[in-house]
Structure 1
Amino acid sequence: MNLGRYVRRSAGHHPDAEAVVCGPVRLTYGELDDQSDRLASALCGLGLTRGDRVATLAANRAELVVTEVALYKAGLARAPVNARLGDAEVAHLLRESEAQVLLTDAGHLDTARAALPGTSVKTVIDYDGPGDLGPGYADTLAGSAAGPVDVDCDEQDVAVLHFTSGSTGRLKAAVQTYGNRLALMRKSVMNADTRIGPGERQILAGPVTHASGMPLMGVFFAGGCAIVLPHWDAEEFLATVQRERATHAFVVPTMINTVLALPNARDYDLSGLRQLIYGAAPMSPARIRAAWDLFGPVLSQGYGCGETTSGVLFLSTEDHRRAIDGEDEELLLSCGRPLAEADVLIVDETGAQVPDGAIGEIAVRGPDVVPGYHNEPALTAETFRDGWFLTGDLARRRSDGYVFIVDRRKDMIISGGFNIYAVEVEAVLHQHPDVYEAAVVGVPDDQWGEAVKAVVVPRDGAALTGAQLVAFCAERLARMKKPRSVDFVTALPHSPNGKIDRRAIREPYWAGAERRVH
């Protein structure tokens, strides 16, 4: 198998149709096919063979899309690095992935330079031109032979090392295989709400190295156009919908919140939009109704994660309509029903399915569920049991199949679509000499869904302020991980075994909230 064949096939069917739009760059299917072949050929020319790892570290740009297709064609494994991570985190990802090549941009050269020592990276390719770290992207393509590259792969071969925070606070990688990515492509085109065919144009608003890039191969398989936003700007998003006559868009709730806050949001022509899918975090019913009023009857919601290679539960536009029209208002609190080939159960601590209405953990199996974590056998054994992936989300199932999340077993915070783990932030807080004890929880936030809250016990006699702690964390963590607020207390609650009781700390902040995961 080779996923790149589907791009080549679409290029044969309509070579002059637009495949990718990102800022001023517009690539036809013929150009996407040719450029990805040239990059794949160049990477093979460096001595890379099937299964070798290639990392990317860059903000959204068309070249990232070309790179993804090229790696599929060459049978290589992609290690996408979140462009917002700090030097130490990037270095960790490069070491863990054992990447031999890094493709980066001018804005991340300093980070790359600091992160490279001690890694396996032998070649750095700069999307913005040659420099002290290595050759430029354009020169690399120009010096590469034209012609198709088609390395035959097995379904079990690693396609993507999808890094995300782990329960220990360190970054871990879900091993997405070529079979998983093929299943992702299938589910993208099986559902009428997510299929982007000829003449249809989907806006991908977040980083295409992660969740926002998941639909790409489905778009190319079906012959649609992917419109990649270079960065998020609420007004530019609306302008792009209008200018490009976008028919579909994929966003996170935080993005919708910023659009709703614009006083001139109704000045734009959004009539071409037929589907606005939100995911990566739930959205409050009040915000859903406001978005429905602005965008029209086009909303749908997806639930999934890196371990399930995108969505496995889906709340359709018709589900939204039924709720908003008063036929079944509870659906606005649901994350939907199983999508495509995914099996979803609500299970107890032994793995047995619980009765409808009872609370248990969401478990998923199917061809899109990854086999485990890279270099993490213990975590894999704990999280993947008898073919089922245990998500850590606690939920109940209604008799008609709709799933309702009520809490999370793990201490993960979802803020603006990013996964943040409490222990990682706590580890930094405890480095401050005036902090005696600290706990971090997610609290409701109208803009971000959840916000990082630090609850801190200062050392006796310390004159410590919240602003000082936020600044301290900002110097040591990626921006989205720092606390947005700090509360000072004289003591933290502990469980009988002596551990900090985060549930007790979190409870007062969520009292009265419509849903336990905002």
Structure 2
Amino acid sequence: MCKFTGEHPDLEQCYMNLGTYLSRSARYWPQDPALVSGDRTWTFAGLERSANALASALAARGLHPGDAVASVAWNRGELVETEFALYKAGLTRAPINARLGRGEITHILRYAPVRALIFDAAHREDALAAIGAAGTGRLAVPLDDEPDDAAHTVPAVAYATLLAEGDTTVPFLVDQDENEPCVLNFTSGSTGALKAAVQTVGNRLANMRKLLMSDDSRPRPGTRYLACGPITHATGMGLLAGVFGGSTTYVLPSWSPSNFLETVEKERITATFMVPAMVNMVLAHPGAERHDLSSLTSVRIGGAPISPQRLREAVEFFGPVVAQGYGLGETTSVVAGLSADEIGRAVREDPELLQSCGRASYDTEVRVVGEDGGELGPREVGEVIVRGPDCVREYWKEPELSAETFREGWVHTGDLAWMREDGYLFLVDRKKDMIISGGFNIYCTEVEAALYEHPAVQEACVVGVPDEKWGEAVRAVVVAGPGDTGVTAAELIAFCAGRLDRFKKPRAVDFVTELPHNRNGKLDRKAVREPYWAHAARRVN
């Protein structure tokens, strides 16, 4: 719907509401399943009624467009209900990673304009303590039980009570401008204090359009999408497009390789999204090959770089249905992608392409620039910058950081890459993760890619460690494959020496039973590196 500010069409101001797409799908496919979580199924009509009820109830309790509602819970269907209710009410969503601690939850409640916090039983104590510490004016909304007045020192109402208070019969749709905040997307916090990229209504709409334009990711009636990671973050980025397209979303309550494999087989899942750590675990899972995964038509990998060897193994395991993409919270969606067909071609005839994260997606522009901001030529390493309608323009209440990251319409990603003559983008490292040894630049991901080619390596992390002579030295920290205890450090170093320039090979290898991952399932390189620098007289940053 468009409203006019004057007599002339060029003064037209357009409004929208993302919840419209759920209302429309409820008319198109009222009895089709929209959402499955545990033993409960929501039809499109049922999800529409719940979202309308929650939106109207929050409005009746005094929440206005621009206010934020936070949530902290493990995966469950009510988080999807909440997402669409907030769209409809024009409220800003502030999803909190379920692995965050009490102090970080408190920080978010103070930092963002949060008026209500929705939480599950597992987070009850931390949620109530955080609300109390953040000050007055915030409503506690427990998902699993009625509030216990004796235990509460803050205003509270059960989620089920809120739904019962609302109106299910009339679509609740508040007009919003495309530049209004829609989601505060918080970083994982692994590199410093939590900050929130402000994803607008327009950013989210652009993300939906992009997913619908892709043959690899386009949802449609009959698509059964498995959300196997946290739906508050990358795994849930496609929920709006899924509802628009009439697909069914299956929410996996907790991740494990066995849960994933059993659900895909039982529910005949057709599409899913995985981070590389998940792929590693599935490929190493005993008996994984015995599961029938033939229903899968799309397995998208993203969230972190994946080695060419793991990509080959993923194609061998899942079939020719594997695609990968590159994006950030600051870009709302994928900005570059490598389709299943392109990966298939890479396996057959263009092995270099397996190292690429793809070409610019749909209406996104991608450049590689030097220190002076000028665009670099083919195969020159520089920083990746991107722009497009899905790209964020600011961090919430962080003007200095915003000015550093968002410049003249471009998002400066902090990622180093080079671009091939035909436009394929090849990530090499984060700026802060690059190792400088004896004046040479060494990219951790390049060394890790060599390690992954060794059959005994299940997972690897390469970091720079203190070295009196060279400043930094390359060290690999490795998880050996199940049952493989014979591989030695000397063997892996020699293996890498045969595949890399001499100065790039690891100088040492440490073996561990597992590597740390951050709250979004990404390899936590900072946590691996930190012990080696804990007692260093001088740090190399």
TM category, shorter: 0.7 to 0.9
Partner residue in 2 for 1:421? none
Partner residue in 1 for 2:121? 106
Residue 205 (structure 2) pairs with residue 205 (structure 1): no
Q: For 1:188 and 1:141, locate their aligned partners in 2 and report how far apart those are by CA, in whole Å.
A: 31
Which structure 2 residues correspond to residues 360-379 of structure 1 after superposition, within 5 A?
A: 360-379=382-401
Q: Aligned-pair distance for 1:410?
A: 3.2
Residue 208 (structure 2) pairs with residue 193 (structure 1): no
Tell me whether 445-454 or 230-239 shows the greater mean CA deviation.
445-454
Partner residue in 1 for 2:249? 226
Question: With structure 2 as the length reference, what TM-score do the two structures score?
Answer: 0.79
Residue 75 (structure 2) pairs with residue 60 (structure 1): yes
Residue 325 (structure 2) pairs with residue 302 (structure 1): yes
Q: Aligned-pair distance for 1:492?
A: 3.7
Which digits, 9 at most, give the CA deviation of each residue in 1:174-204, with x for residues without a partner? 0000000000110010111111100111111
Which structure 2 residues correspond to residues 54-453 of structure 1 after superposition, within 5 A?
A: 54-116=69-131, 117-119=133-135, 121-132=137-148, 133=152, 134-146=156-168, 147-165=170-188, 169-325=192-348, 327-411=349-433, 444=448, 450=461
CA contact (8 A) 2:58 2:162 kept: no
Partner residue in 2 for 1:511? none
CA-atom RMSD, angstroms? Answer: 2.7
Which runs of 5 or more residues in structure 2 are unaligned?
1-15, 436-443, 469-511
Q: Aligned-pair distance for 1:24?
A: 1.5
Q: Aligned-pair distance for 1:382?
A: 0.7
Which digits, 9 at most, give the CA deviation of each residue in 1:488-512, with x for residues without a partner? 5797474xxxxx214xxxxxxxxxx
Q: Aligned-pair distance for 1:314?
A: 0.3
Q: Aligned-pair distance for 1:330?
A: 0.5
Match of 1:26 among 15, 35, 41: 41
Which digits, 9 at most, give the CA deviation of each residue in 1:412-455, with x for residues without a partner? 99xxxxxxxxxxxxxxxxxxxxxxxxxxx999596566488987
- Whichever residue aligns with residue 41 of structure 2, its letter is R
Q: For 1:32 and 1:412, locate their aligned partners in 2 and report how far apart those are by CA, in whole Å.
A: 47
Secondary structure of 1:232's partner?
Answer: coil
Which runs of 5 or more residues in structure 1 are unaligned?
414-440, 458-469, 495-499, 503-518
- Count of matched residue positions in the alignment of Structure 1 and Structure 2: 452
Partner residue in 2 for 1:501? 540
CA contact (8 A) 1:283 1:449 kept: no
Partner residue in 2 for 1:426? none
Q: For 2:255 and 2:275, locate their aligned partners in 1 and report how far apart those are by CA, in whole Å.
A: 11
Q: For 2:256 and 2:298, locate their aligned partners in 1 and report how far apart those are by CA, in whole Å.
A: 19
Percent of pairs identical after alignment? 48
Secondary structure of 1:70's partner?
Answer: helix
Secondary structure of 2:176's partner?
Answer: coil
Which structure 2 residues correspond to residues 458-473 of structure 1 after superposition, within 5 A?
A: none
Q: For 1:263 and 1:411, locate their aligned partners in 2 and report how far apart those are by CA, in whole Å.
A: 33
Q: For 1:41 and 1:144, locate their aligned partners in 2 and report how far apart those are by CA, in whole Å.
A: 5
Q: How has the CA–CA distance of structure 1 residues 168 and 219 changed in structure 2, closer, same or farther, with 3 Å as cutoff?
A: closer
- Whichever residue aligns with residue 401 of structure 1, its letter is G
Q: Aligned-pair distance for 1:378?
A: 0.6
Q: Aligned-pair distance for 1:262?
A: 1.4
Q: How has the CA–CA distance of structure 1 residues 347 and 30 changed in structure 2, closer, same or farther, with 3 Å as cutoff?
A: same
Q: Which has the larger radius of gyration?
A: 2
Q: How has the CA–CA distance of structure 1 residues 141 and 407 changed in structure 2, closer, same or farther, with 3 Å as cutoff?
A: same
Q: How has the CA–CA distance of structure 1 residues 2 and 478 changed in structure 2, closer, same or farther, with 3 Å as cutoff?
A: closer
- Whichever residue aligns with residue 501 of structure 1, its letter is V
Q: For 1:52 and 1:488, locate their aligned partners in 2 and report how far apart those are by CA, in whole Å.
A: 44
Q: How has the CA–CA distance of structure 1 residues 121 and 109 changed in structure 2, closer, same or farther, with 3 Å as cutoff?
A: farther
Which digits, 9 at most, give the CA deviation of each residue in 1:53-96, with x for residues without a partner? 11011110000000000000000000111110111111111111
